[in-house]
């Protein structure tokens, strides 16, 4: 399995010289294995991914997107995701009910004339199919996907466990543990994973006072990966004001604290950040 990060930044896009190495786009992750592909979240990173997909002709294959939740930083790339405008593209979007409305309703509303010149999903040329996430494992091409709802402020954010032929990737973003200990559902999704991608918005000291924000510290991310017996941890959803040097520092601290056998990296946009398992 090949994991490429197209956006690793949380909350809003970070621009400027301090954010060039890890990248400033908001969450979008592409997992591929042979001819199969699954896309996690449609943050601003999805804009670059969409262009790359069109350039490679991949839009002619059915595309699958899993949305953790629909806060703006995770869907802001959707109105600019080039395959959505391609008449031959077919896109399956799996999303949660968030605050209670179906995923197609929420995305349709995000395009209404107050927010976007697109007006409505009807103006996208691709064939879109929407699916509401549940917690029963399901099959996507050759991937087996398990989803679980985790608390994220007033709504849930879905975590995903994606099993391919060569390994398991777990995606846990916009999750927080208000009592400081990892949620059992997060540990279950991460069990023996080859790669855990985990929210690391905070350091342990600045997490204090933000316990209910629905975000984690690098220490929580490490606790999940360690207790679950994972092989590699990618710190993800870097805070928008966290400079490259500060992300380096989080990675170094987490590496020092990690047990033998658990590798730690900072999720990084582009080819330089690709992980193969
Ligand atoms: Zn977010």
Condensed to tens digits (0 to 9), the pLDDT of residues 220-247 reads 999 999 999 999 999 999 999 999 999 9
- Alpha carbon of 260 to ligand 1 centroid (Å): 30
The model's pTM is: 0.97
State the pLDDT at residue 153: 83
The tens digit of pLDDT for each residue in 57-73 reads 887 779 999 999 999 99
- Alpha carbon of 88 to ligand 1 centroid (Å): 30
- Alpha carbon of 201 to ligand 1 centroid (Å): 9
3-state helix, strand and coil shares in percent for the chain, rounded to the nearest 5: 30, 30, 40
Contact between 200 and 237 under an 8 Å Cβ cutoff? The reply is yes
- Alpha carbon of 15 to ligand 1 centroid (Å): 17
Backbone angles phi, psi at 112, to 5 degrees: -65, 160
How far is 121 from 114, CA to CA, in rounded Å? 14
Q: pLDDT digit of tens for each residue in the chain (277 aa)?
A: 999 999 999 999 999 999 999 999 999 999 999 989 999 999 999 999 999 999 998 877 799 999 999 999 999 999 999 999 999 999 999 999 877 889 999 999 999 999 999 999 999 999 999 999 988 899 998 999 999 999 888 888 999 999 999 999 999 999 999 898 999 999 999 999 999 999 999 999 999 999 888 999 999 999 999 999 999 999 999 999 999 999 999 999 999 999 999 999 999 999 999 999 9
- Alpha carbon of 40 to ligand 1 centroid (Å): 12
- Alpha carbon of 67 to ligand 1 centroid (Å): 11
How far is 268 from 71, CA to CA, in rounded Å? 21
State the pLDDT at residue 152: 83
How far is 273 from 277, CA to CA, in rounded Å? 13
Radius of gyration of the chain (CA): 17
Residue 130, both tokens: 């929407």
State the pLDDT at residue 135: 83
Burial status of residue 117 (CB atoms within 10 A of its CB: 0-12, 13-18, 19 or more)? exposed
DSSP run (H or E) holding 73: helix 72-75
Residue 162, both tokens: 């994606």
How far is 145 from 138, CA to CA, in rounded Å? 5
Residue 71, both tokens: 């806060």
Catalogue all structural domains in the chain, each as residue range(s) with its CATH number.
Answer: 2-271 (3.60.15.10)
Residue 174 CB-half CA count within 13 A: 30
Give all strands (DSSP E) within 106-176, no chain letters: 127-132, 138-140, 143-152, 155-163, 168-172
- CB atoms within 5 A of ion ligand 1 belong to 10, 73, 174
Backbone angles phi, psi at 163, to 5 degrees: -100, 120
- Alpha carbon of 214 to ligand 1 centroid (Å): 9
State the pLDDT at residue 154: 83
**What is the SS3 assignment for 171?**
strand
Contact between 63 and 37 under an 8 Å Cβ cutoff? The reply is yes
- Alpha carbon of 265 to ligand 1 centroid (Å): 19
- Alpha carbon of 76 to ligand 1 centroid (Å): 11
């Amino acid at each position: 399995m090949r994991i490429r990060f197209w956006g690793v930044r949380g909350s809003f896009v970070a621009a400027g010289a301090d954010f060039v190495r890890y990248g400033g786009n908001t969450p979008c992750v592409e997992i591929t294995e042979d001819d199969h592909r699954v896309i996690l979240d449609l943050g601003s990173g999805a804009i670059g991914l969409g262009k790359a997909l069109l350039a490679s002709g991949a839009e002619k294959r059915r595309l699958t997107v899993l949305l953790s939740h629909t806060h703006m930083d995770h869907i802001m790339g959707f109105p600019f995701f080039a395959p959505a405008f391609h008449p031959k593209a077919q896109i399956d979007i799996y999303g949660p009910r968030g605050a209670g409305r179906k995923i197609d309703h929420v995305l349709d509303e995000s395009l209404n004339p107050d927010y976007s010149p697109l007006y409505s999903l009807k103006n996208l040329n691709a064939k879109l199919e929407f699916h509401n996430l549940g917690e029963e494992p399901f099959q996507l091409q050759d991937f087996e996907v398990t989803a679980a709802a985790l608390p994220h402020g007033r709504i849930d954010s879905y975590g995903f466990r994606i099993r391919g032929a060569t390994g398991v990737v777990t995606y846990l973003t916009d999750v927080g543990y208000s009592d400081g200990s990892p949620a059992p559902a997060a540990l279950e999704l991460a069990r023996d994973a080859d790669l855990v991608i985990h929210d690391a918005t905070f350091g342990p000291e600045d997490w204090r006072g933000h316990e209910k924000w629905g975000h984690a510290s690098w220490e929580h991310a490490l606790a999940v990966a360690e207790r679950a017996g994972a092989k590699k941890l990618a710190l993800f959803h870097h805070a928008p004001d966290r400079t490259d040097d500060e992300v380096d520092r989080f990675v170094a601290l987490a590496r020092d604290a990690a047990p033998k056998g658990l590798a730690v990296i900072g999720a990084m946009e582009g080819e330089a950040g690709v992980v193969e398992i």
